Amino acid sequence: CHSSNHYGAAGYWAKMALDEGCIGLSFTNTSPFAVPTGGKTRAVGTNPFCFFAPAANDNFQLDMATTVVPVGKIEVLDRIGKPVPAGWGVDREGGNCTNAAEICKAGGLYPLGGSEETAGYKGYGLGMFVEIMSSVLSGAAIGPDVQSWTISRDGPVNYGHCFVVIDPARFSAGFDDRLGSYLDRMRN
């Protein structure tokens, strides 16, 4: 899917598959706000993805951004004039930053994992994975070419989305029971 202006809640799309007893994955690229590990310039969005899977008497639901935090958390701190916890964002030079206004206006977010010292390149790789699945695959705007999310922009933002549905019954019997057992073990 491409030529989109907004994706909505990632879980909405994955739950459609879950309600049918299937595994649901949904991905979207977003306007660049993440700075690549070791970089200075926004190049990737928060690029959320979602994975829901049905289990006996339960289900597994993962819905997350590929940045340390969503942009909204920084925007709230900027509005109320509070500092950002260290490790969430960078300034215009790519250095760790706790000033919300600087992060919002000229810096950016760390990818999931934070700086290079804390393996932020893994989160950056996840952001790239989502970008490839949602925008490169669909023909939408890619990474730095995605317009900023502002009121005054030049036409559609052209986000891309990807939706994958997998019927576990097509692979082997008992998926729901096995996943339910696994989830019980992880919780206890």
Catalytic residues: 6
Residues 6+ apart with CB under 8 A from 161: 1, 2, 4, 7, 13, 26, 27, 28, 134, 138
Residue 177: how many other CB atoms lie within 10 Å: 12
Q: Three-class SS of residue 63?
A: strand
Q: In what order do the strands lie in the sheet with 96-97?
A: 96-97, 89-90, 108-109
Q: How far apart are CA 135 and CA 28, in angstroms?
A: 8
Asked if 15 and 63 touch (Cβ cutoff 8 Å), the reply is no
